[in-house]
């Protein structure tokens, strides 16, 4: 009897955990696709307002399917579509266009290929296993690029860290310090991008900060002291470009570039503090801007 109580209690906890996902998704405007007591296959099911509610045949807690839990990626799409593509050559150009779009984070372009993908699959004489995997590929692409995809929802504090890794012994610890500060603040490290040097930062920053899912940038790097004015000139150019980007898009950046003019010894002492301060700056300014909206 004791074992039965423990098992039932465990199943109840799992069910409540999934119910938490379901209610949280509905609270922020996301429509889950399925919610089950137990796992499919379904013993009974009904659809209400686009959500399939059901009782599963496997009594091991609960199951909720939320659209677009992960940002669509080429490798995931390839995993599901590859068997069908091997059987149907007409899929190749469509799949290639979708791959290019996903690789460029052009999710609207990837989504625009869905009608052609569905039409070609409907006419293709695929084996049962390949057809099932192709259906999964279509579903994941559809839900992952849709406006209510989980990963696309606004969750303020999604940050991108851009680091110039020319001086890896200094910038490497800066990246780790920034990561720890972001996690400690309850923010999200949306992406880590490394570039060869500080001069390349503004172009990459312009691409990153324009993404709707990104709330702010953390810029890390080190411009060392040299025998000429090259470092100072580069520092002024980079700083000015980053400031102009902030004004253009109204999103904050935390500047954690050491120098120009700092010696390696000075940079080693300052590296962690500069990175943490950059994270705190972008979060504080971002909150101020959010409060003004």
- Active-site annotation holds for 230: yes
Residue 207 backbone dihedrals phi, psi, to 5 degrees: -65, -45
Can you say whether the dihedral through the CA atoms of 54, 55, 57, 61 is positive or negative?
Answer: positive
Beta-bridge mates of residue 47: 52
Cα dist from 193 to 130, 161, 190, 201, whole Å: 36, 6, 10, 10
3-state secondary structure of 43: strand
Given 70, 86, 230, 236, the catalytic residue: 230
Hunting for tokens 């004004």 — which residue is that?
247
Sheet holding 216-224, edge to edge: 188-195, 158-164, 216-224, 253-262
Q: List helix spans (H) across the chain.
A: 2-27, 74-87, 91-103, 107-112, 114-123, 128-144, 168-184, 201-209, 230-249, 264-292
Q: Which residues contact residue 118 at a Cβ distance below 8 angstroms, ignoring those fewer than 6 apart?
A: 138
* Burial category of 73 from C-beta neighbours within 10 Å (exposed 0-12, middle 13-18, buried 19 and up): middle
Catalytic residues: 230
């Amino acid at each position: 009897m004791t074992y039965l109580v423990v098992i039932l209690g465990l199943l109840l906890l799992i069910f409540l955990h999934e119910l938490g996902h379901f209610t949280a998704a509905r609270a922020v405007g996301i429509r889950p696709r399925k919610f089950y007591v137990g796992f499919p296959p379904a013993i009974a099911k009904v659809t209400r307002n686009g959500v399939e509610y059901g009782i599963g045949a496997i009594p091991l807690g609960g199951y909720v399917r939320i659209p677009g839990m992960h940002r669509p990626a080429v490798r995931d799409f390839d995993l599901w579509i590859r068997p069908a593509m091997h059987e149907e050559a007409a899929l190749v150009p469509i799949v290639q266009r979708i791959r290019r779009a996903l690789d460029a984070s052009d999710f609207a372009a990837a989504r625009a290929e869905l009608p052609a993908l569905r039409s070609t699959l409907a006419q293709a004489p695929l084996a049962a296993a390949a057809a099932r995997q192709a259906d999964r590929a279509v579903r994941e692409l559809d839900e992952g690029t849709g406006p209510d995809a989980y990963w696309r929802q606004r969750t303020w504090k999604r940050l991108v860290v851009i680091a110039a890794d020319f001086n890896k012994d200094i910038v490497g610890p800066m990246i780790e310090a920034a990561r720890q500060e972001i996690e400690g603040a309850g923010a999200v490290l949306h992406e880590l991008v490394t570039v060869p040097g500080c001069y390349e930062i503004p172009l990459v920053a312009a691409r990153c900060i324009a993404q709707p899912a990104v709330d702010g940038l953390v810029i890390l790097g080190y411009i060392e002291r040299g025998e000429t004015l090259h470092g100072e000139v580069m520092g002024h150019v980079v700083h000015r470009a980053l400031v102009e980007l902030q004004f253009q898009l109204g999103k904050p950046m935390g500047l954690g570039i050491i120098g120009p003019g700092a010696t390696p010894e000075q940079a080693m002492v300052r590296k962690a503090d500069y990175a943490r301060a950059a994270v705190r700056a972008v979060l504080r300014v971002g909150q101020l801007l959010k409060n003004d909206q």
